[in-house]
């Protein structure tokens, strides 16, 4: 897929998720074959004011490439100025958030609230394209609600304004993250514009990624919640699409442990052990899903404070799950 002069290899990328897709997790997902990653959303106003926390969110120094920097805001010039200032970080592209449904974003006229004004969406893209020399993409939703499913109209305005690609999440803002994503609206957008269209919503494994690509004709899929505690999903999708629908098995417990330790180690390296371990609790809880003793492991994950705590937990995880394997072998 081409984003301006940028060539994207692969068919599955990591969707931006606030509080999840920080530098540490972006790096892990790239190692497992994500086509590219996108930062957590960065406030254009906060960039204008020089906020230090925002600068940390936008830091790309530990990233593998390509990585896009996602901005949110409601004013075209503020977004354009923020994009221009952030070029010093050398992002491979700028992604404009027109899909975030949370009240603190949409309630202030940004994110999915922009879908109420398609012309303004186009004006934002046009303003940014004048200021930056990297690809500009847009992430939007099907519409605000079921009565205003206007993703096709918004995508057209964005294309006319110079957007290099649009990503469509198949839910409305009112749906938030509930219900089933409508892939038909993604297909409609693909048929309506000439720029690349990226599909998003309910891609959780190799088969669903393939189904979205086939049903919508989209150029690439973004994996969001399906990647939580599951960076292997990109390796599985790539194998399925390039090797005659080969289904790779889930990772064994040893590989899970190695990746958990590496991920959380990176997290602590980026943010310090105290903060990193607080944020590690949710990630470890996702990683142990489906393993023997997962409920107890998740409870203990919620109490992690140090890397030593994590090492003890991982030792317990290994013991419980290898004992289960040995018990099975004894019964054969």
Q: Which residues are catalytic?
A: 100
d(CA 45, CA 205): 36
Rg of the chain in Å (alpha carbons): 20
Name the token pair of 194.
């000439």
Contact 110, 74 (CB under 8 A): yes
Which is nearest to 10 in space by CA: 61, 62, 65, 59? Answer: 65
- The H or E element spanning position 38 is strand 37-38
d(CA 9, CA 323): 41
d(CA 145, CA 107): 15
d(CA 319, CA 283): 20
Give the DSSP letter of residue 133. S
Contact 21, 38 (CB under 8 A): yes
Kind of pairing between the strands at 2-3 and 6-7: antiparallel
Beta-bridge partners for 169: 141, 200
3-state helix, strand, coil in the chain (%, to 5): 50, 15, 35
- The H or E element spanning position 96 is strand 93-98
Residue 143 DSSP SS3: strand
CA of 142: how far to CAs of 111, 149, 182, 315, in Å?
A: 13, 5, 8, 45
Give the DSSP letter of residue 71. E
């Amino acid at each position: 897929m081409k984003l301006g002069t940028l060539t994207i290899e692969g068919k599955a990328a990591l969707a931006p998720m606030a509080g999840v897709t920080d530098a540490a997790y972006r790096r892990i997902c790239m190692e497992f074959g994500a086509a590219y990653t996108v930062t957590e959303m960065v406030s254009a106003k906060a960039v204008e004011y020089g906020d230090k926390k925002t600068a940390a969110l936008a830091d790309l120094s530990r990233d593998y490439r390509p990585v896009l920097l996602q901005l949110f805001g409601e004013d075209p010039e503020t977004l354009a100025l923020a994009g221009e200032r952030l070029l010093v970080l050398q992002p491979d592209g700028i992604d404009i958030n027109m899909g975030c449904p949370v009240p603190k974003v949409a309630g202030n006229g940004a994110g999915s609230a922009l879908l109420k004004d398609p012309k303004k969406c186009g004006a934002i893209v046009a303003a940014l394209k004048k200021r930056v020399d990297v690809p500009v993409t847009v992430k939007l939703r099907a519409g605000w609600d079921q009565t205003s499913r206007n993703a096709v109209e918004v995508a057209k305005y964005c294309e006319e304004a110079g957007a290099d690609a649009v990503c469509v999440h198949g839910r409305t803002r009112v749906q938030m993250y509930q219900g089933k994503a409508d892939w038909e609206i993604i297909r409609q957008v693909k048929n309506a514009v000439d720029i690349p269209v990226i599909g998003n919503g309910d891609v959780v494994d190799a088969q669903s990624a393939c189904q979205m690509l086939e049903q919508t004709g989209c150029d690439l899929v973004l994996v969001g919640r399906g990647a939580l505690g599951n960076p292997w999903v990109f390796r599985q999708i790539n194998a399925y699409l390039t090797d005659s629908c080969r289904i790779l098995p889930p990772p064994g417990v040893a590989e899970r442990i190695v990746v958990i330790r590496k991920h959380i180690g990176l997290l602590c390296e980026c943010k310090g052990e105290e903060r990193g371990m607080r944020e590690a609790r949710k990630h470890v809880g996702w990683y142990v899903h489906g393993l023997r003793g997962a409920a107890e492991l998740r409870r203990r994950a919620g109490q992690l404070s140090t890397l030593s705590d994590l090492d003890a937990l991982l030792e317990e995880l290994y013991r419980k799950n290898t004992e289960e394997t040995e018990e099975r072998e004894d019964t054969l």
